């Protein structure tokens, strides 16, 4: 498989690329290329690095069995990267620009690092890498179930940058076993983790066994439930690199501190290719069956695996982001001795009444209420509840004095079973309207959680 390089003309004919396909596009003379005036010693080092196996190198497989994760031999290690305190490096780069972080990553690891490209905003990473003037590699996981627009986007990116993306594919025997035993869409019934493990996690594990470091497009604002504490540099807590063992792989997240809007300003400024799905309302883009457009008032991550609870919206590629209490506590946050989560509360406003269990039970029993109610069933740890907080508070402020009460009921933890049985809770948030002359509440049917949509729902039923 060809590797994706963006070399300068100064070394275009050198031995650095003798074993790889030459990229067609080259930088203009305005690019900072002084670092490529290599000495003879550096060229010898480049020859040594070329001896490393390609990213997708694998041993022969016994087709009679379904291979387990990471059935790949690590390439022969030619040189050892000196030990470094990456927590210290993360602190040094905490306030650095994405370009500076990218430059540091490529400078430090050279041919032993690659950019993970998913077909969404990760094109920003490729643009930053290009701007450093250093050679870089790009790989992507082709699950076999991506949107046609995503495949077209891959081709546009390759042509725009003159590179070849290193594609990793799932093991055919594993996919065959999964589909034959459980069907094509089993993830709608029993969760996405098993399918993602076969189609994404294991191919990624094979890819990373050929590297010492990788670069991702994780941002803190992408997923408040799992990515809020992502550092710009870290020792990968889940995967292993070519040297094997814990701590053998370093992970760079150059845009960790960048807001999504700022990433898009950068993409528009640099006039780079973008996935056409973004114009159709898609923000976080994955496999076609598991991705849909985001509606007004929704968090960007809500377009992924929308039929599941929001407690751990990760496919396994960044499983290290998920806190232990989420993995073991049903996503209800860090629980105290009474089983109640200790997260900071949401929807705190003078116009939003906090209902207790007896309060919501009394509301259910009333057949003739003096005024109608709007109540949201929420959980403080839920990133989608967090995303709609502003809209719901604005709704409460607009309904103040209108004769309609606005309330909230925390329905996670010990209250979840009650909410599911008595309050139609499917996932968080669930919004209910209690009419003036009806015992049973009416569930808000839409996932549009902007204030105008919520007001239209209330106005139609008041």
List residues with catalytic annotation. Answer: 382, 385
User: What DSSP line would sit under 25-65, residue for residue?
Assistant: ----TTS--GGG---HHHHHHHHHHTTSPPTT------TTS
The enclosing H or E element of 354 equals strand 353-354
d(CA 282, CA 148): 14
- Decide the pairing of beta strands 213-215 and 166-168: unpaired
Element (H, E) at 159: helix 148-161
Is the CB of residue 282 less than 8 Å from the CB of residue 274?
A: no
Q: Residue 127 to residues 15, 109, 228, 362: CA-CA distances in angstroms?
A: 25, 18, 24, 58
Beta strands in 32-162 (DSSP E): 113-116, 138-141
Q: Of all helices (H) and strands (E), which one includes residue 377?
A: strand 373-378
Task: Report helix, strand or coil for 152.
Answer: helix
Q: Which residues contact 451 (CB under 8 A, 6 or more apart)?
A: 297, 391, 394, 395, 398
- Return the H-helix or E-strand segment holding 235: strand 233-235
85, 229, 226, 424 alpha-carbon torsion, rounded to 10°: 160
Taking the C-alpha atoms of residue 234 and residue 86, their distance in angstroms, rounded to an integer, is 6
User: Vertex 166, ends 162 and 171: CA angle to 5°?
Assistant: 155
Q: What is the CA radius of gyration of the chain?
A: 25
- Rounded Cα gap, residues 458 and 453, in angstroms: 9
């Amino acid at each position: 498989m060809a590797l994706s390089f963006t070399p300068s003309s100064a070394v275009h004919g050198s031995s650095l690329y003798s074993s790889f396909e030459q990229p067609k596009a080259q930088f203009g003379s305005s690019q900072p290329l002084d670092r490529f005036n290599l000495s003879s010693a550096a060229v010898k080092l480049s020859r040594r690095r070329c001896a490393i196996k390609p990213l997708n190198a694998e041993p022969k497989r016994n087709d009679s069995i379904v291979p387990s994760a990471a059935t790949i031999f690590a390439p022969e290690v030619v040189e050892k990267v000196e030990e470094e305190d990456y927590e210290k490096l993360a602190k040094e780069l905490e306030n650095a620009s994405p370009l500076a972080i990218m430059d540091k990553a490529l400078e430090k690891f050279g041919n032993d690092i690659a950019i993970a490209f998913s077909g969404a905003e990760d094109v920003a990473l490729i643009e930053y890498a290009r701007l450093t003037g250093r050679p870089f590699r790009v790989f992507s996981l082709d699950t076999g179930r991506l949107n046609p627009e995503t495949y077209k986007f891959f081709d546009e990116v390759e042509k725009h940058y003159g590179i070849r993306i290193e594609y990793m594919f799932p093991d055919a025997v594993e996919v065959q076993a999964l589909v034959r035993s459980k069907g094509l869409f089993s993830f709608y019934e029993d969760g996405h983790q098993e399918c993602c493990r076969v189609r994404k996690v294991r191919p990624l594990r094979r890819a990373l066994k050929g590297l010492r470091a990788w670069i991702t497009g994780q941002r803190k604002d992408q997923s408040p439930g799992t990515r809020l504490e992502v550092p710009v540099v870290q020792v990968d807590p889940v995967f292993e690199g070519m040297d094997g063992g814990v701590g053998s792989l370093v992970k760079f997240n150059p845009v960790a501190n960048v807001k999504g809007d700022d990433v898009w300003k950068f993409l528009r400024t640099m006039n780079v290719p973008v996935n056409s799905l973004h114009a159709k309302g898609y923000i976080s883009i994955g496999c076609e069956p598991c991705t849909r457009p985001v509606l007004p008032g929704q968090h960007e991550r809500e377009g992924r695996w929308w039929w599941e609870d929001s407690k751990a919206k990760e496919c396994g590629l960044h499983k290290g982001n998920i806190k232990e209490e989420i993995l073991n506590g049903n996503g209800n946050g860090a629980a105290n001795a009474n089983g109640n989560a200790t997260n900071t509360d949401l929807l705190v406003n003078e116009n939003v009444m906090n209902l207790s269990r007896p309060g919501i039970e009394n509301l259910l029993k009333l057949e003739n209420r003096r005024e109608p109610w709007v109540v949201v069933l929420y959980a403080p740890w839920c990133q989608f509840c967090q995303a709609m907080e502003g809209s719901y508070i604005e709704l409460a402020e607009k309904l103040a004095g209108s004769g309609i009460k606005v309330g909230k009921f925390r329905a996670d933890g010990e209250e979840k079973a009650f909410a599911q049985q008595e309050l139609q809770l499917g996932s968080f948030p669930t919004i209910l309207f209690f009419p003036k002359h009806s015992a049973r509440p009416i569930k808000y049917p839409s996932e549009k959680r902007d204030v105008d949509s919520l007001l239209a729902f209330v106005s139609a039923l008041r």
